Amino acid sequence: MRVAIISDIHGNRHAFEAVLTDIAESSIEEVWCLGDLVGYGADPDACVSLAREHASACLAGNHDLAVTGEVSLADFSRPAAAAVHWTQRTIKPETREFLMTLRPAGDRYAVGLYHGSPREPVWEYVLSSGLAERCLDTQSNRVCLVGHSHVALSFERQVGAAAVTGEWRDGGSELAIGAGEWLLNPGSVGQPRDGDPRAAWMLLDLDANTAGYRRCEYDITGAADAIRAAELPVSLAERLEYGQ
């Protein structure tokens, strides 16, 4: 089975549509979303509608949970909190109702799915090998997928290895994941933070035991203009160009 893994869409319809076009050209059988459909971007209703149409599995991210009132805004930056308040005011009832059905963790075909991490599915950012090792100690699946950090990366622990190793992953990176334990992050669709502004996703082949990192161009100017037109914080528009 070939699965597209997406995460951290953040209301960026322009990026999401570009990724879905890329996915449609890649013989994909299912789409799994690791959360944060909304937040930062100006098209939350459209992004939730696209996820409902295309994703066979969908998690809640911390921004989704903040919009539904299930988590506090105490740990959000000012721009992020402003985007949450704007989203709460503007989304359709059916968008809110769908977000309320989502949870931050799950599994599918023996693959663990988490927005944050296996240890803390809502908030934990897995960006170091030491933390990834503790997560691999926690998880019950050999392979798990995480989002939240907006960075495309991989961590692995092979049998007999002294420690977990990890790398940031560029578009085009291909991994053989048939042996050992793995924690994989596909990167962000709607707001990458690894210096590459292109939308990110992952192609996970469960039969071949491979994971491929993908990036695609999208209309960054259109997404930024939509944020400005909605009178959201301008920093949320400016950072899209730099992938930060």
Q: Is the pTM of this model over 0.85?
A: yes
What pLDDT shows up at residue 174? Answer: 97
Cβ-contact 42, 50 below 8 angstroms? no
Report which residue type is found at 88. Q
Report which residue type is found at 102. L
**Could you report the per-residue pLDDT of 15-64, keeping only the tens digit for each?**
999 999 999 999 999 999 999 999 999 999 999 999 999 999 999 999 99
**What's the N-to-C CA distance of the chain in angstroms?**
33
Cα separation, 114 vs 130, whole angstroms? 18
What pLDDT shows up at residue 189? Answer: 98
What CATH number has the domain bearing residue 135?
3.60.21.10
CA 6 to chain centre: 5
Binning the chain into helix, strand and coil, the percentages to the nearest 5 are: 30, 25, 45
What pLDDT shows up at residue 161? Answer: 81
Cβ-contact 39, 11 below 8 angstroms? yes
Q: What is the mean pLDDT of each run of 10 residues along the chain (244 residues)?
A: 98 98 96 98 98 98 98 94 97 98 97 98 96 94 97 94 91 96 98 97 98 98 98 96 91
Q: What does the block give as tokens for 114?
A: 């988490």
Q: Which residues span the domain enclosing 66?
A: 2-241
Domain count, the chain: 1
